[in-house]
Structure 1
Amino acid sequence: MTSRVLLISPAMNAALRQARFDDGSPLDSAGTARARSAADALPAADRTLTSPTVRCRETASALGLDATDSPSLNGLDMGRWRGRTLDDVSTAEPDGMARWLTDPQAAPHGGESVHELCLRVAHWLDGTAQLSGRTVAVVEPEIVRAATLRVLGAPESAFWRLDVPPLTATEFSGRAGRWNVGLGSRLGAA
């Protein structure tokens, strides 16, 4: 049995443009248009899921997907940093920001650590590997990072070394617990 998982990162929104931790901002008009232009580029899916965030739901809708919210695919809980810019947090809490970027167990924002996120995503991916066919999911970039680490057996310390641009697809395919990875295919017009 072969399982395929296609993870699509959300299109552009104000939070991404401003280097701000997600605050529930909707897609901007350019992000919506780009996602709509990519709708025909997606393969058929047996299951379609989405992170239950505004930008992922809106991206899924613009792509023409009738996706179901999956709490296991929710983005990283940023606690009290939610909605703040990276510059603001780096200035106000330089030690906390440095710990968060270097220690996967750290959660100085009071939310979820990278380690906790990686465990949650690994559990979801292991369950999905038991399903035949293709799962397409629109997910936050950190979900793509965590899944990639799991598939490659890479350490959590590599989490921040993976760039996940907006509206890109990362595909995992495999059987018997062995995955192959197709990284960062752009969807829609550049």
Structure 2
Amino acid sequence: MEYLGVSSAQNIQALSALLSNQQEEDDDDYTNVSPYAMMGPGNIGPPPKKDKEVPPVYVKKNSKDVWSEEEVAEGPLYDDVTDPRPQPEYEILLQQSVGTEDVFLGLSRKDPSSMCCEAMLVKIKLPDSKASDVTLDVKEKFLDLRTPKYKLGLHLPHPVFHQEGKAQFFSEREELQVTLLMNRPLDAVNMQ
């Protein structure tokens, strides 16, 4: 019995013909190319089936869906590309309510990590602005600030209670401070 190895191009072509069950058409472009250069891993086995391609716009997955994820544009939620106003400088600080019993005695399970923080302080520098010029809209995970000179669309690092925050404008520093209570799930660390 003869040993069938895959060392020759003829054996590879014979294996491809057995697996594909179709006749391959010879192209004139490959007459001067060696058989090894024409064969690759994609040539073994049956050719892939070509289904009718339907554009994703016409595919309706669920009759209750208003739009699909492909139709929603990527990027910030309230970003307006045509708005030339610059983004002001801002800083996000996380805050804890800590007493002496927490610091010295360790009676609560609080530690300095961000998992034990209860509030978020957002400091926004607004030079040449007045408190009456500021329009502020806070959602659960987004802060939208607009003034005649600045705009800020800020995705917050943690969800917040958007109805329970407070904002304070300091005219002497030209700074807006927004304090937001963080919406933390109750677990072993965040026992409030």
Give the structure-2-normalised TM-score. 0.24
Structure possessing the higher relative contact order (Cα contacts under 8 Å, 6 or more residues apart)? 1
Greater radius of gyration (CA): 2
